[in-house]
Amino acid sequence: MNAPIGMAAIEKKGWWASHRFLLLRRLAQASLIGLFLLGPLAGVWVLKGNLSASLLLDTIPFSDPLVWLQTLFAGHTLEWSLGLGALVVTGMYLLVGGRVFCSWACPVNPVTDSANWLRTKLGLNRSGKLSRSLRFWMLGMTLILPLLTGMLLWELINPVSLLMRGIVYGMGVGWLLIAAIFAFDLLMIRRGWCGHLCPLGAFYTLLGRVSPLRVNASKRNECNNCMDCFAVCPEPQVIKPALKGQSTGASTVILAPECTNCGRCIDVCGESVFEFSTRFANKAETQS
Amino acid sequence: MSSKQDTKRNSLSRRQFMADSARAACGVTLAGLGLSLYGESAKVHATQALRPPGALPERDFLGACVRCGLCVRDCPWDTLKLGRMLDPVATGTPYFDARDIPCEMCEDIPCVKVCPSGALDPALEEIDDSRMGLAVLIDNETCLNMQGLRCDVCYRVCPLINEAITLEMQRNERTGAHARFVPTVHSDHCTGCGKCEHACVLEEAAIKVVPHSLAKGELGSHYRWGWEEKDRAGGSLIPEALDLPDRMPLDGGKL
């Protein structure tokens, strides 16, 4: 029926411009893993630790704010180093949108992205249904379990921390869990893990409610309804209000906090409808 | 659009919302239950898995450790490992196997210093105060010293020689002419570093470091050791035994 997704963009903008953010994202993900591995492999300690907590150049602490919250809920007293690291990370993602973590830093993202890529290649269109709000229930669970048991139970199986820790420290049968997520996304539910279940993604979604960096459908009048952006977007429901909101005068900015700022919609749009901007850059024509 | 239709759509979506929520709640509760059971089984009971110095009691440790592995990185001896899935410790938490690489008891305790979460208690300032486990001469039947030989390796390698492990001389009943030097661990000094277990010359160590919960008995709180009470009080707590009159006849045996 149609040309392959993104073909129009490649023809109009060239290959680089229509893969820019995808490649930059892969570069960011690989660099993060590389920086963690540089120490154990080459003895150069830029980043030490893993995504749960780390030290940059042996001085600046980073830590996963959700893990930190779990320790507090488990009744562990506040430890300044961990708390400070969590504040640093939270501050960072408050600015650029929490789910920038999901698309630019999380090691599970390439796994689920490739599952989705293969799903498209194989024409596996059937997808099970799962509520996208399930992840908030999961988030609740990760915090209530420590409250009830005093242990960080989610961290026993959390694939996000497990994968980075596994890459840096050795993984063992943990690979099975990652393979399971790949299979789940490939065979059962499109974008099943990141889009429906991951509590860390849900947590970062909350930060996205106020973050200034947003994708803006600033030239939405030039949209030719090719649907390529919907096809590549991991959270396609966030696009519609901004892209198709002319009649209601809705903002051109994608304000939904589920948006991961991956920039893939900017890449694949042949008409260059989207751009990165701030949440205040609403270009909706005011109807007078 | 009529308000009647509106109401209908509203109630439908409300019903949908309730159903979705109920389903999500059930699913998540089940998942949480499974995780709790898994969590209970993840607590360390295994003797091969000792926690680093300063580790909080196991349950608190599992509520504090964020599994970042910074302790592993800063250990200069590569003693510590992070648990992988199906290992005998909770996934991602640090442990060591004393028979493999024991704790070298660094004076500056780098693992505790780098721990961001306090799972390794920063209050531990003297490595000699750490209690990673307790060494136990677990097999008397293969310990060479117990057979009357002079192995003494565990005693010699102990960083707290003559404090944590002493050699107690006993009569060797087998020869009738020699002594046995029985390695004896003292829990008030043993840090559980595992050097004795590491160094034991047997194929399988006769002395092993095990968690305190396995190694130590506990007195009922009302128990007192009489001899200690006596020392503390500077004398017997009860009056000396009555000196009853001797019944030896005074007149030299004539009744």
Nearest to B183, CA basis, from B142, B157, B154, B211? B154
The token pair that represents A246 in the structure block: 């002319």
Nearest to B35 among A50, A67, A156 (CB): A156
Q: A65-73 vs A199-207: helix axis angle to the nearest 10? A: 110
Q: Indicate which of A169, A193, A196, A198 best probes the interface with B, i.e. most B CBs within 10 Å of its own CB.
A: A169
Put simply, the answer to whether A165 touches B82 (Cβ < 8 Å) is: yes
List strands edge to edge, sheet with A47-49. Answer: A47-49, A53-56, A60-63
| Coil/strand/helix, residue B55 | strand
**Residue A15: what pLDDT?**
82
Q: Give B6 or B56, the one with higher predicted confidence.
A: B56
Say how far apart CA B113 and CA A288 lie, in whole Å: 64
Task: Classify residue A7 by burial, with Cβ atoms within 10 Å: 0-12, 13-18, 19+.
Answer: middle
Specify the DSSP class assigned to residue A15. T
Pick the residue from chain B with its C-alpha nearest to A60. Answer: B116
Q: Is the pLDDT of residue B252 over 80?
A: no
Say how far apart CA A49 and CA A40 lie, in whole Å: 10
Say how far apart CA B159 and CA B136 lie, in whole Å: 16
End-to-end CA distance of chain B: 129
**Residue A131: what pLDDT?**
79
Segment of B5-19, B65-79, B228-242 carrying the highest mean pLDDT: B65-79
**Residue A285: what pLDDT?**
62
Residue B184 identity: T
Interface predicted TM-score (ipTM): 0.82
The pLDDT-based confidence of B134 (bands split at 50, 70, 90) is very high
Hey, is the C-beta of B209 within 8 angstroms of any chain A C-beta? no
Say how far apart CA A16 and CA B249 lie, in whole Å: 122
- What stretches in chain A show pLDDT beneath 70? 1-3, 78, 284-288
Chain A residues with CB under 8 Å of B68 CB are 49-50, 52-54, 63
pLDDT tens profile B69-127 = 999 999 999 999 998 887 888 889 999 999 999 999 999 999 999 999 889 998 998 89
pLDDT tens profile B170-221 = 999 889 889 999 999 999 999 999 999 999 999 999 999 998 888 888 889 9
Chain B residues with CB under 8 Å of A39 CB are 73
Chain B residues with CB under 8 Å of A157 CB are 35, 38, 91
**Residue B85: what pLDDT?**
82
Q: Give A15 or B253, the one with higher predicted confidence.
A: A15
Q: Indicate which of B68, B71, B84, B95 best probes the interface with A, i.e. most A CBs within 10 Å of its own CB.
A: B68
Residue A186: CB atoms within 10 A of its CB come to 19
Hey, is the C-beta of A146 within 8 angstroms of any chain B C-beta? yes
Residue B57 identity: P
Chain B residues with CB under 8 Å of A177 CB are 85
Catalogue the long-range contacts made by B106-109 (C-beta closer than 8 Å, 24 or more residues apart).
B106/B76, B106/B77, B109/B53, B109/B54
The shortest C-alpha distance from A212 to chain B (Å) reads 30
**Residue A278: what pLDDT?**
86
Beta bridge partners of A50: none
Say how far apart CA A61 and CA A87 lie, in whole Å: 10
Put simply, the answer to whether B68 touches A172 (Cβ < 8 Å) is: no
Q: Indicate which of B67, B115, B121 best probes the interface with A, i.e. most A CBs within 10 Å of its own CB.
A: B67
Q: Indicate which of A37, A47, A52 best probes the interface with B, i.e. most B CBs within 10 Å of its own CB.
A: A52
Residue A217: CB atoms within 10 A of its CB come to 30
Say how far apart CA B29 and CA B19 lie, in whole Å: 15
Say how far apart CA A273 and CA B16 lie, in whole Å: 35
Calculate ∠ Cα B130-B134-B138, nearest 5°: 165
DSSP B69-102: -HHHHH-TT---EEPPBTSSS-TT-EEB-TTTS-
* Residue position matching structure tokens 């988030």: A139
Say how far apart CA A103 and CA A261 lie, in whole Å: 7
Specify the DSSP class assigned to residue A124. -
The pLDDT-based confidence of B53 (bands split at 50, 70, 90) is very high
Put simply, the answer to whether A81 touches B116 (Cβ < 8 Å) is: yes
Hey, is the C-beta of A172 within 8 angstroms of any chain B C-beta? yes
Put simply, the answer to whether B36 touches A75 (Cβ < 8 Å) is: no
Put simply, the answer to whether B36 touches A82 (Cβ < 8 Å) is: no
**Residue B52: what pLDDT?**
94
**Residue B4: what pLDDT?**
52
The pLDDT-based confidence of B5 (bands split at 50, 70, 90) is low
Say how far apart CA A143 and CA A215 lie, in whole Å: 31
Hey, is the C-beta of B34 within 8 angstroms of any chain A C-beta? no
Hey, is the C-beta of A62 within 8 angstroms of any chain B C-beta? no
Hey, is the C-beta of B118 within 8 angstroms of any chain A C-beta? yes
Say how far apart CA A194 and CA A235 lie, in whole Å: 9
Beta bridge partners of B71: none
Pick the residue from chain A with its C-alpha nearest to B67. Answer: A52
| H runs (alpha helix) in A208-276 | 228-232, 239-243, 264-268
Nearest to B68 among A50, A133, A170 (CB): A50
**Residue B10: what pLDDT?**
62
The shortest C-alpha distance from B4 to chain A (Å) reads 23
Q: Indicate which of A63, A132, A152 best probes the interface with B, i.e. most B CBs within 10 Å of its own CB.
A: A152
Hey, is the C-beta of A155 within 8 angstroms of any chain B C-beta? yes
The shortest C-alpha distance from A112 to chain B (Å) reads 21
The token pair that represents A12 in the structure block: 């109009």
Chain B residues with CB under 8 Å of A81 CB are 116-117
Nearest to B205, CA basis, from B156, B104, B137, B155? B137
pLDDT tens profile A129-188 = 887 888 998 899 899 989 988 888 898 889 999 999 999 998 888 899 999 999 998 888
Task: Classify residue B104 by burial, with Cβ atoms within 10 Å: 0-12, 13-18, 19+.
Answer: middle
Chain B residues with CB under 8 Å of A85 CB are 116
Say how far apart CA A88 and CA A234 lie, in whole Å: 27
Put simply, the answer to whether A68 touches B66 (Cβ < 8 Å) is: yes
Q: A108-121 vs A174-183: helix axis angle to the nearest 10? A: 40
Q: Which residues contact A98 (CB under 8 A, 6 or more apart)?
A: A203, A204, A205, A206, A207, A208, A211, A257
Radius of gyration of chain B measured on its C-alpha atoms:
30
Nearest to A145 among B32, B64, B114 (CB): B32
Question: What does each C-alpha distance from B15 to A111, A133, A138, A148 come to in angstroms?
Answer: 35, 16, 22, 31
Q: Give A172 or B239, the one with higher predicted confidence.
A: A172
Nearest to A263, CA basis, from A275, A277, A278? A275
The shortest C-alpha distance from A137 to chain B (Å) reads 7
Nearest to B110, CA basis, from A48, A152, A71, A75? A48
Q: Which residues contact B5 (CB under 8 A, 6 or more apart)?
A: none
The shortest C-alpha distance from A267 to chain B (Å) reads 35
